[in-house]
Amino acid sequence: MSKTDLNAVLATLTLEEKVSLLAGANFWETVQIPSKGIPPLKVSDGPNGARGGTFSGGITSACFPAACSVASTFDVDIARRIGVALGEETYTKGARVVLAPTVCMHRHPLGGRNFESFSEDPFLAGKLAARVVDGVQSTGVSATIKHFVANEQETQRLTVDTDVSARALREIYLKPFEIAVKEANPGAIMTAYNLINGTHADSNALLHDVLRGDWGWEGLVMSDWGGVNSTVDALEAGLDLEMPGPTQWRKVEAVVAAVHAGKLSAKTIDERALRVLRFLERQRCFEDPTIPDEKAVNKPEHQALIREAGSKGIVLLKNDNSILPLSKEKLKGKKVALLGYAKDCLAHGGGSAAVNAHYKITPFEALQSALGNDVELTYAKGAPTFRQLPLLLENVVGLDGSTGFTYKIYVPGNAEPIKTINGHKSEVSLLQAVYQETNEAELTGTFTPTETATYYFTLSGLGPSLLLVDGKVAYEQEGNCKDFMGFLLGGVAVPLIKLPLQAGTPYKLQVRSVPPKPVEGEDIIPLFLDLPGVRLGVMSATEHDKDILPEAVELAKVADVAIVFTGHEPDWETEGQDQLSFNLPKDGSQDRLVEAVAAANPNTIVVNSTGVAVAMPWLGEIQALVQSWFPGQEAGNAIADVLTGARNPEGHLTCTFPKRVEDSPAYGNFPGTHVDGKLKVTYAEGVFIGYRHYDRLPADKVSFPFGFGLSYTTFSFSHLAVSAASADEYGVKVTVSNTGTVKGATAVQIYVGSSVPTSENPIKALASFKKVTLQPGESAAVELVVKLQDIASWDEKGHQWVIKAGDYTFSVGKNAQDLVLSTDVAIAAKTYLP
C-alpha cells in the first residue's frame, strides 16, 4: 500500500476514528477499525527474548544474553546475529514489533536496569544497538529502541526529574540513540517515564527538535507502558501511540473536545494517525492482518548462538598462576567444590526483560557434563540469598479441600464474590490482575505445619492489606505500598511477622487486599490503580536462620579446587528498583562465603553473575575471577566452556569496576534529592561518566577498567599508523599478534583525545573497535576507521558539533587504562550540523 493510499485511508476516517488509533486496544495490541480496513498489530517485550503476552510463566521463549553481556563481546557480528534470532522469536509470539534494545547508559553501578543496557560508553552502546536493530529488522520485525531519554535509574522513575546539560545529553545520553537511528533506522522509539529538565519525556521538545528535527527520523514514537502524562502536550510534542490500552489519556471524547475547543489542532491528530498507519504498512499489517497464536519454537541454531554469545561475553578478570582453564585432563581424579549459585541459572535480570526460558542450564549441570565421571563434584549453597520469603504452596488446603488457597474476587461493595478460584498460590500477582475487572482479593487456606517452631510470615500488598490467623489480625498494612515498582518486580522490605506454630495443628489463614488509591507523591503507574496485588511469604525460623556457611567451608577444605558462584538473582537486580548495595546480597552473606572458602582452599575461583560492577573485598584472596554477566538460557554451558578451556575467554568489560562506590562519577547525585516533595537527580558529572571520570583519578581507584579482559593466550600490538582517509575520516592500522600458544580473540580498542588535555573535556574517548581472532603465532594488520564527528564536542551556544584545531592522540588500548601504542595527528578545525 503506497503513501497515497494511506492518505486516502486517513481521509475516510472520522476524527473519532483517528483519535482511537492513537492508543492501544489492550496490553499488547493496537486498535483495529475493520470497517475501514485498518488491521491490528501486536508487540512483544524484549530485549532478552520475545516473551509474548504473559508476564509470568506462560509459553516459553528463547532467553538471550543480556545487553551487558552482548556489549562485552565487543563484537558487532554477534550483536547482529542476536538481533536476527530475536526477530525470529518475535514472530513465534504473533508479534511484529519487539520492544528492544535498551540503549540507556550505565551512569552508576547501582542502576537497577544497567544489565538491560549495553555500556557506560555511548559509542560502544550505539554501535552494538545499531547492529541488534539491523538484525531484528532484517527479519521484517520492527525494533523499538528505548527509553528516550536520560533514564539511568529506577528509583521513582515515573516522576524523577533529570537535570542534565545540553552537552551531556548530546555527547552521552542521546549519542547511542543517534547512532542507532542514523545507522539502522529503527521502526519505533519508546519514550521514558522520567522528566528531562522539567518536562516529561512523552511531551518533551526533544521529540520534535532532535528526533524528528535534527535527525530527520520518521518512525513511530510510542510511550512506555503507562508512561503518558498529558493529553494535549504529548500529542503536540510528537508522541504517536499511547501504550497500553485501554487509554488513560486519549479518551476519544476528551481529545475531540480539545480539538473543538482549539486546544489541539486537527492537523496534529492527522499527523499522529498517519504515523500509526505508516507503521502498520511498514510491518505489512495491511497485507496480512492476522495475529497468529503464540508458540514455543526452540530452535537448535538459537541454542548454539546463545551458548556462543554467552561465552564470548564472559570476561576473565584474574587468573593467577594460570589456574584456569580447568581442563578435564588437569582435574582427572580430583575433587572440585561448586558453591553458591552453582545449581542456579542466573540467565537474566528481573522485570520486563525476563522471559520464561525454553530451558536453563546451571553451571553444576554443565560442568558435570563437561568433566565427566573422572572428576568428583560436590555442592553446597553456603550463603542465604533469598530476597523474599517463599510463597506458601505446601501443606495448605483451600475451602474445597484441594491443595492451595481459595482465591475469591470481589467487586467493591458486593458481599458475594464474582469469581472463585481454588488451588491458588499465596499471591495475587498484579501482572495477572491487569486482565481482570477492578476488584478486591481474598485468599483463604488452612495451613498445617510439619514442625513445631516459630514461623516467619511476610505480607505485602499494593493497596491496604490484612493477614488473619484463626480470625485474629496478625498484621495490617494500612496504606498503599510505598515502593510500587519494587512490589511489582523485585520485592519490598516488609516486617517479619513471627508466629509460634505447632506441628500437626491446622491454622486458618486469610489474606484480604483492596486496590490502591492515588496518593500525591506516590510512584504508581495509573493503569495499575484499582487493581489488587498481594503476596504472603512463609518460612520456618529453623530454615530461615540456619547457618549454611560451615557446610561449604568443609567441602572447600577437602577439595582440590573450589569454585564459588556469586551474583544477583532477578529479585536483586531488576527493573523497578536500583541496587540496595554495592556489595553482593544478602547482607554480606556472599562476601563471607568467598572469604571463608578462600581461607580454606588456596585454589579458589569466583564466577560472578551480575549486570553491574560490585564490591570485591576478597579480590586479593582468590586465584581467579570470571565475570559472566547474565548469559541467557545456556548460562551454565557458556561458563563451563570458558572454565574448562573449550572456549578461550575474549570478553572485555563494558563498564568500569571501581573499588569503592564512593569513587563512581555519579556518587552523591544518585538517585537524587527531594525538592519541594519531588525527586530531582542532577547529572552534575556532565560528560564525565564511566572511564571519562576515572581517567581523572588515580589508577588505584579502579579494580578493573573499562575494556579490560584477559585471555588464555597473549597478544601484542605494533606498527600503529594513522592517516586521513577523507576530510571527515581517519584510517587506523595496527598489527596484532597472538604471542601465546592457543587460538584466541581480542578487541582492538582505539581511543582518541586532545594531546593537550583540558579540564572541560575528557582525556580520551573510544572512537573505534574491532574484534580479531588469531591462531597462535599468527599476526594480522587490522584496519579501523575513526570518524571525526565521533570525537567532536557539542557546542551548546552554536548548537553544533565542534572539533578544535590541534594535535590529537590516537591510542591503541588493551583497555581504557593500558594504552600500548600512541601517535599524534594534527587535525584542522571542524564543525558538523546536529
**Cell output for 176:** 547511542
**Cell output for 59:** 509459553
Query: Which has the closest alpha carbon to 163: 669, 749, 692?
Result: 669
| Contact assessment for residue 772 and residue 746, using Cβ atoms and an 8 Å cutoff | yes
β-sheet bridge partners, residue 428: 534
What percent of the residues of the chain are helix, what percent strand, and what percent coil, each to the nearest 5?
25, 30, 45
Task: Tell me if residue 539 falls in helix, strand or coil.
Answer: strand
Task: Tell me if residue 593 falls in helix, strand or coil.
Answer: helix
Query: CA torsion sign, 394 to 399 to 400 to 405?
Result: negative
Helix (H) or strand (E) holding 771: strand 765-774
686/163 Cα distance (integer angstroms) = 10
Distances (CA, A) of 427 to 296, 355, 462, 759: 26, 20, 12, 54
Name the active-site residue from 75, 163, 224, 523. 224
Q: Torsions phi, psi of 54, nearest 5?
A: -110, 125
Distances (CA, A) of 762 to 62, 663, 695, 700: 40, 17, 8, 19
| Contact assessment for residue 180 and residue 700, using Cβ atoms and an 8 Å cutoff | no
699/697 Cα distance (integer angstroms) = 6
Residue 115: exposure state from Cβ atoms within 10 A (0-12, 13-18, ≥19) = buried
Q: Could you confirm whether 545 is annotated as catalytic?
A: no
**Cell output for 201:** 519525556
CB atoms within 10 A of CB 743: 15
CA 665 to chain centre: 21
Amino acid at 473: V
Across the beta sheet with 729-738, what order do the strands follow? 715-724, 729-738, 779-787
| Contact assessment for residue 748 and residue 784, using Cβ atoms and an 8 Å cutoff | yes
Task: Tell me if residue 618 falls in helix, strand or coil.
Answer: coil
Distances (CA, A) of 821 to 491, 654, 741, 800: 49, 21, 23, 31
734/768 Cα distance (integer angstroms) = 12
| Contact assessment for residue 630 and residue 349, using Cβ atoms and an 8 Å cutoff | yes
The 3 state secondary structure assigned to 284-335 is CCCCCCCCCCCCCCCCHHHHHHHHHHHHHHCEEEEEHHHCCCCCHHHHCCCE
The 3 state secondary structure assigned to 93-129 is CCCCEEECCECCCCCCCCCCCHHHCCCCCHHHHHHHH
The 3 state secondary structure assigned to 162-190 is EECCHHHHHHHHCHHHHHHHHHHCCCEEE
The 3 state secondary structure assigned to 188-213 is EEEECCCEECCEEHHHCCHHHHHHHH
CA torsion angle 350 354 357 359 (round to 10): -20
Catalytic sites, residue numbers: 224
